Amino acid sequence: KYTKFSICYYWINSLDQKTSIYSRLENVAIPSGEENKTAALSYDYRIMPLENTSSTGTYYCKVKWNDIQKMGKGVFVLVRDTGYINASYGWEILVTLTVLLSVLSITTTALLLWKRKVLCPRRNHPNILRQEVETQLPSASLPQPPVYD
């Protein structure tokens, strides 16, 4: 009684419309000595390719015997457009920002050190200027003003 059955695959879209995909009849032979025992058989079916986003929905499998019908729980399939890329730029932005700030920090530090070297005179520089001023003044006619450091 249960050796002949049909397997039917279908899907239900977001508008609750049922669409049959594939069905086939099975006739399973029972080996001798295995009568009146429960058996589980697997049947796989691949749905390829899914044409477009309208193929999104829940896909089901149903088995029918003469007086009994069993249906699977269903598998929800979300179909996206071709070329869809999950936009996750978190790490790229973080690395770029870190590199940019590091370069700016190093450049600013280098400029400040270079500027300090150019603007700040060396310690013996004022003495050189003082010696030049003292040699230019006439020593006999005018008294020398006091020099302050």
- Give the pLDDT mean for 51-76: 86
- Asked, as a colleague might, if the bond just before 49 is cis with ω within 30 of 0, I would say yes
Q: Please compute, for residue 97, the number of CA atoms within 13 A of its CA located in the half-sphere on the CB side.
A: 6
Q: Mean pLDDT score of the chain, rounded to an integer?
A: 78
pLDDT of 63 > 80? The answer is yes
Overall domain count for the chain: 2
The range of the structural domain enclosing residue 100 comes to 86-120
CB atoms within 10 A of CB 126: 12
33: left (phi over 0), alpha (psi -120 to 50) or beta: left
Domain co-membership, 10 together with 73: yes
Domain co-membership, 14 together with 68: yes
Sole residue written with tokens 């099975």: 26
pLDDT value for 88: 73
Against a cut of 0.85, is the pTM above it? Answer: no
Give which of 59, 62, 37, 39 is closest to 48, Cα–Cα. 59
| Residue 127: band (very low, low, confident or very high) from pLDDT cuts 50, 70, 90 | low
Q: What percent of the chain has pLDDT over 70?
A: 72
Q: Is residue 41 within 8 Å of residue 3, measured between CB atoms?
A: no
Domain co-membership, 91 together with 110: yes
| Residue 14: band (very low, low, confident or very high) from pLDDT cuts 50, 70, 90 | confident
d(CA 97, CA 75) in angstroms, rounded, equals 42
